[in-house]
Amino acid sequence: MDRRNFLKVTGAGVLMAVAPSTVGTKLYANDGRLFTAYERVQLLDASGAPIKASQLKKETNYVFNYPYKSTPALLLNLDEATGENITLTSEDGQEYLWKSGVGKEKTIVSYSAICSHQLAHPTPNDSFLQYVQKDKKTMAYERSGVIVCSSHLSAFDAKRGAQRLSGPAAQPLASIVIEVAEDDSIWAVGVLGPDKFHEYFKSFKPEFKMFYDGKREAKKLVSISAPTVTLNEYSKEIIQY
């Protein structure tokens, strides 16, 4: 299994690899890196069949909800391998390490689709946040092949842990930690980096009532599997500048 391990600094000052799915709680390493483990969940297509890493289309926005029933995440198979061992910084100055993409070519990544600026996110009605393919243009950044929130034109580097590139966002998007199993299936196991889930749950009560039968249902953790569809299937309207 292709696990995206991260590094924990032990009391003796030794770096030790920790498999994400073996950690059962929020963990702050001595150097500030942050990981939160959630239930290991398999990504399935609309028919209930396992999503296969080798079948993901390049530069296509896929969406699944994780770790909560109402928190959307992007799944991407990029056009080339990601960077490796990228040090990222939260808005309050904490550093954490993003290892790389997963899969044979290290091109598959996943990020929370809740913007770290003012929480814009895909809904069944519309989406202001998406990955912009290399052959398209965006007003948010000098080049494409980046994740853009068109609500306030923040841009994030999909190949470097969703590192902020431009705009008012003060920190990267949180990373969804995924694993590719030996049978090519894809699993979500946790969240790396500071997330915006607390603020999100405080901000969208009418939306939760409309789409999830209320806040209580919206805050339930995803279990066992997560349906995964393209962004065009997830949202009726895609807004991109």
Q: What is the pLDDT of residues 97-109, one digit of tens each?
A: 999 999 999 999 9
Query: What are the tens digits of pLDDT across the range 153-169?
Result: 999 999 999 999 999 99
Residue 162 belongs to a domain: yes
Query: What are the tens digits of pLDDT across the range 29-88?
Result: 434 448 999 999 999 999 999 999 999 999 999 999 999 999 999 999 999 999 999 999
Residue 23 belongs to a domain: no
Query: Which tokens sit at 156?
Result: 């994030």
The CATH number given to whatever domain includes residue 175 is 2.102.10.10
Q: Which domain holds residue 64?
A: 39-83+102-238
Question: Is residue 67 a contact partner of residue 79, using CB atoms and an 8 Å limit?
Answer: no
Residue 24 belongs to a domain: no
For the chain, what is the domain count?
1
pTM of the shown model: 0.88
Please say whether the dihedral angle defined by the alpha carbons of residues 17, 180, 82 and 199, taken in this order, is positive or negative: negative
